[in-house]
Structure 1
Amino acid sequence: ADYVGNKKSFLKFFCYLGAISCIGLFWFNIDYLWFGFLCYFLALIGFWASLVFYNSYLPDIAFPEQQDKISAKGFSLGYIGSVILLVICLAMIMFYDTFGFEDEGLPTRLSFILTGVWWIGFSQYTYKYLPKGNKAEKKLTRGVLFNGFKELKHIWIKLGDNIRLKRFLGAFFVYSMAVQTIMLVATYFGIEELDWGEQNSTTGLIISILLIQLVAVVGATLTSRASGKFGNIPTLIVINIIWMAICIYAYTVTTPNQFYVAAACVGLVMGGVQSLSRSTYSKLLPEHAIDTASYFSFYDVSEKIGIVIGMFSYGFIAELTGDIRYSIITLTVYFLIGIILLLRIPKALG
C-alpha cells in the first residue's frame, strides 16, 4: 500500500471483505458449516487487516499535538456506534414476536446482515474525506509484491534505529498480551466463575458488555486529557498499574455486582489504553514519515501476536492449575513487565 500509494484502496478492500463475509454468516448453521467457518475466517481477516490502514491514517490527518484527542474521539465514536447497533440487534432478538418473527433464530441471523450493512454504510463517509495515500500513486506491476516486502524491510531497519519507537513497541507488545486476553475471556470468566443465582447469566453478560463499551468512552476521553497534562508515557504507566489492580480484584470476584464493578473498571482503562497506545505510537514515528501503513503494520502485528501468546498462557495456566482465577492473576506479570519497559523509554515524548 505504501509502495503503490493507494492506501485507501486497501482499506476499502479489506473493509468490504470483512463486511460481506459478516453478511455471509447469515447462513452459518450445521448444513453450511464449512461455508460459515470460511465467512468467519474472512471476516476476521477483513476486520484486522483494515485496522492497519485505518490506524495508519492518524498521523496523516492530525498534527502530533492533536493525535491523542483525535485517537480518543475515534475510539469513543466506535464504542458508541457498537452500543447502538448491539441494542438494535438485541431488541430484535429478545422481542422477536413484536417484530413479527416466530422465534429468535431468524432475527439472530439477520443481525449479521445488519452488522455488515452498518459496516459498509458508515465507512462511506470516511472514504469520502480520506486521502489516497502519502505518495504519488504508481501503476501496479509484477514487482509490486517484491517491492512491498522491500518497503517493510526498510521500515524494520528504521524501527531498529529509532530507540524510543522500538522500546515503546516492545512495551506495547507485552502489556497488550494481557489487555487483549482480558477482553477476550471476560465473558467466559463471568459464565464459569460467578454464581448468578436467580439472575439470568446471559442478561448479566449483555449488561456487562454494554457497560464496558459505554464506560470506555469516558476512559478514552479522560486518558486523552491526562496525557495532555502529564505526558503519554506516565499516563500509560498509571493505566497499566490500574490494570494490575483490576486483575487482583477479579481474582476475588464471586457475585454479579462485583463483576459489574470489574466490568466498569475494565471499560475505563480499556478505552484509555487502546486510544493512547495508538496515538503514542503515532507521535513517536519519524517526523514527516510517509510510510505510515508499513509502520502501523508492525504495531498491529505486535498486538495480534500478543493475543496468541496471552491466550496460550491463559489456557496453559488454567489447565495446569485447574482454576482460571490463577490465569487472571498471572496476567499482572505482563502489565508489570510492560511498566518496566515503558520506564526504559527515553523522556523525549511529552
Structure 2
Amino acid sequence: MIFPTASPRRGRRSIMPVAGTGALVLLSACGTAVPTEDERPAEGWSFSDGAGNEVTLDEHPQRVVAYSGVASALWDYGYEVVGVFGPVTTAGGQPDPQIGDVDTERVEVISETYGEMSVEKLASLEPDLIVTHAYDDLAWYLPEEVDQIEAVAPLLRIQVTGAGAEELLADHLDLAVALGADPHGEAVAGALHDFDASLAELSAATEDRPALKVVAVSASPENLYVANAAAGGDLELFAEHGVRLPETDAPDTDQFEELSWEEADKYPADLLLQDSRPTSTPLADLADQPTWRTLPAVEAGQVGAWAAETPYSYTRYAEVVRALAADISEAEPLEH
C-alpha cells in the first residue's frame, strides 16, 4: 500500500487567475471557486496550479493525456482526454474509483502499472499535454526518470503535497476551464451547487452531533494506520465543517500514524471510517481481526467508508461529503 506523505500546507487562494485566460476565479460564500467570464487570448496557453507550478505552450492544447484521477475530474466538467494512465480497473474487474465516469471505450488506457509506461504507446496518441499529480518531486504513477515522457509532450504536475482539498478542487476546475470546459455550463454550475449543498448538510450533521468522535483509519490485519487531519487533504475539509477528528502524534508531514493493534484504542472513536480504496483491506476481512471486533464503534455498527483518494472533482466530493454527513447523523456517542 502506497501512502505518500504531505509537507506543511500551502496558503489557500482567495482570488486565483484561470490559466490560459484573463479571467479571475472568485470564491462563493462557501469558499467554492466559481470562474468568471472567459477571456482566452488568441495565441498561447498557460496554466499555474496553487503551488505556482506553471506550464506554458505556444498553442492551446487539443490532445491531453492525464493520470486517471485528473482525467476523472476533467471529464466531470465536460472535458474529454484522449488517454489515461493510473488506476482504471480493480482486481475484481470493476471501474476503479479514480477513473470516475471516464469512458474507457473511447479513451486509450496507456498503463495501469505504477512507475511503468510505454513511451511508444504514449507518443502514438500525439498528446499536446500530459497531466499528473505530484508529491513533492515525485510525478505520480510515471517512471522515476521522466525525461522520456517529457520528450513526448510537456508535463504539468499538479502539486498535491501540502495542499488542502479545497485548493486542489479549485486547481482541477481551473484546469478544466483553461482547457475548454464551459465555466457557466450545467456540468460546472451543477457540481458547485451540489458541493456547497453537501457542505451545508455536513455542517448541520456535526452541529447536531458536536461530541461525536470520528477517526479515519486504514486498517489491515497487521497494523492500524490512523489518518492525520493536520496533513491536509479531505480530512482538513471535514474538520473545517465540524467533524471532530483526533490530533494524532504523527508529524504534520505524515498522512498517517502507524499503530500496532495493541494500541488500537489510543484514539477513541464513536464513528470509524475505514479506507475504502480497492487496495485496502475490506471490512469483511477485518472481521477476523480480534481487536478490530472489540472496538466500541465496530461493536455498535458505527463504521463508515473513507474514500481516501477521491478525485478532485466537486461532483465526486459532494457524494463523499454527503455520505459522511449521513454517517454522522446516524451515529451516537459511545461509552469508552
Answer yes or no: same fold by TM over 0.5: no
- Pair member with larger Rg: 1
Larger strand share, 1 or 2: 2
* Higher normalized contact order (CA 8 Å, seq sep 6+, divided by chain length): 1
Q: TM-score, with normalisation over the residues of structure 2? A: 0.26
Higher helix proportion: 1
TM-score of the superposed pair, with normalisation by structure 1: 0.25
